[in-house]
Amino acid sequence: MLDNLFLNSVVEWSRLQFALTAIFHWVFVPLTLGITFIIAIMETIYVKTGNEFWKKTVKFWMTVFGINFAVGVATGLILEFEFGTNWSNYSWFVGDIFGAPLAIEGILAFFMESTFIAVMFFGWNKVGRKTHLTASWLTAFGANLSALWILVANGWMQNPVGMHFNPDKARNEMDSFWEVLFNPTAINKFFHTITSGYVLAAIVVIGISSWFLLKGREKLFAQKSILVASVFGLLSSAVLIFTGDSSAHNVAHTQPMKLAAMEGLYKGREGAGFSMFGVLTPGKEYGDGKDAFVFNLEFPKLLSFLGYRNFNAFVPGIEDLIKGGFKEVDGSTALSVEEKIQRGTKAIEAYKEYSNAKKEGNEIVAEDARARLEANFKYYGYGYFNNPSSIIPNVPLCYYSFRVMVWLGFLFVFIFVISLWVVMKREGNFKKWMLYISIWSVPLVYIASQAGWVVAEMGRQPWTIQDLLPTIAAVSRIDSSSVMITFFLFFTLFTILLIAELKILFAQIRRGPKISNEIVE
């Protein structure tokens, strides 16, 4: 019992520390993904026109990018180190697979991005215009290439493919790099994540530009910046909506419990509606007989279509996924979680028998145990649970976070459309309320971005690797006090870094691009 208390303490503190680092890191990353392309687009206009106004505009937004990028690198490095310090069992179990995309990200994408950033910032008077423009575009692609490998690793955790378990080393080994790379979950996650970063960057540019307009400063700079950001953001939103639809379809097939949690769906049904907005019943738990919602406004049959491309398809709820017995998409009958736990227990026991038999040199027993291990390995992770309800994620957190993300996303589309219309049709004559909405949308877009990751990561709990390795089996065997101390140290450090970054950023914004009237004319 004391050992379990120790383990749970380490698990919870390790999760808190990783969440803290990831949240702070994701404050900086999405702006980097998007604003680099906005900068490259603006610099392309400068090279095409030769207008010094655009050069000054590019330099201002480069400074905003540079301030953000510098702090983002620090949090990203700490995040990767935590896989070794806090999650060593995880790193050992799947390091051969998970480590490959991280290594590529570090060796290729990071150095590519860093190299061209140097040319981008310090090469204005040292290289030609076209060479500098090429460096700006390659910086943008490098930043997104870094994101690709991170998201391939994360997508594999959500949907593990292209590997097999080697019982002699107690490790999972890669069968196909290409299957891991082109994992549908990973590819969809990549495009959905980077386009969310594009939307965030566009909103930040519009918000800062709106502040200048509200202050009556740098009007042409602000209007042109809003024009570029609105078009970029609107196109990105279209891709974001498309990939969001693909995400729902993918999650329905690979992580049905996450989908059920996102929708607060306890009892599955055919022709399931999509919950547009609802209030969950406080204290609702699995099997208590209470209604899931106090109030729920649904779009009829939409969830069935999003998940299975069939308006009348059956969407399993939390209770169905726990009890099993319904028909899967492939026509098989779904197992109950209790049955999966039994099979997972058999897999763990078979692995122990295999290891002991190999040590004793008993090949006959070893081969028999290995056959039982391979037959049940699909459910290996379930063997760590005793209670079927343990696999249910935090339903309220997933449900409300998902709706915050979706509805704020529609707000941003409205901002792009209205901003583009005002700049094009009314020559930048914004009403004050429009400017205030744009400015206040800057913190809102960060909330929406974080909410998306809450859904993605909390929705797959209690798994670090879906159905294969639970969180409780992934942590390092270290003293919980060490994790507690570093948690508060990181919290203090990250908070100081964030405050410093915001102070520097706000000072730069107040200073402005300082575009002279001669250049404007």
Residue carrying structure tokens 């122990």: 352
Q: Are residues 89 and 182 in the same domain?
A: yes
Closest by CA position to 379, among listed 367, 391, 389: 391
Residue carrying structure tokens 């890669």: 174
Q: Region 3-23: what's the mean pLDDT?
A: 76
Average pLDDT for the chain: 88
Q: Are residues 376 and 416 in the same domain?
A: no
Write down the pLDDT at residue 322: 93
Q: Are residues 293 and 342 in the same domain?
A: no
Asked if residue 400 lies in contact with residue 266, where contact means CB atoms within 8 angstroms, the answer is no
Q: Are residues 372 and 516 in the same domain?
A: no
332 located within any domain: no
Torsion of CA 218, 204, 145, 63, to 10 degrees: 40
Asked whether the predicted pLDDT for residue 5 surpasses 50, the reply is no
Q: Are residues 491 and 353 in the same domain?
A: no
For residue range 406-433, what is the model confidence (pLDDT) as tens digits? 999 999 999 999 999 998 886 667 888 9
Name the residue with higher pLDDT: 267 or 113. 267
329 located within any domain: no
Please give the Cα distance from 252 to 255 (Å, whole number). Answer: 6
Torsion of CA 172, 474, 466, 485, to 10 degrees: -140
Structure-token pair, residue 125: 């008077």
72 located within any domain: yes
Q: Are residues 297 and 416 in the same domain?
A: no
19 located within any domain: yes
Q: Are residues 277 and 355 in the same domain?
A: no
Q: Which string of b and e fits 456-483 if b means at least 16 CB within 10 Å?
A: bbbbbbbbbbbbbbbbbbbbbeeebeeb
Report the domain count for the chain. Answer: 3
Q: Are residues 237 and 367 in the same domain?
A: no
CA angle 335, 473, 399 (to 5 degrees): 60
170 located within any domain: no
Q: How many Cα atoms occupy the beta-carbon half-sphere of 363 within 13 Å?
A: 0
Asked whether the predicted pLDDT for residue 73 surpasses 80, the reply is no
Cα–chain center distance at 366: 41
Q: Are residues 80 and 145 in the same domain?
A: yes
315 located within any domain: yes
Domain range for residue 69?
Answer: 2-165+177-255+393-520
Which pLDDT band, with edges at 50, 70 and 90, does 405 fall under?
very high
Write down the pLDDT at residue 8: 60
Write down the pLDDT at residue 1: 38
Which pLDDT band, with edges at 50, 70 and 90, does 515 fall under?
confident
158 located within any domain: yes
Which pLDDT band, with edges at 50, 70 and 90, does 80 fall under?
confident
For residue range 185-232, what is the model confidence (pLDDT) as tens digits? 999 999 999 999 999 999 999 999 999 999 988 889 999 999 999 999
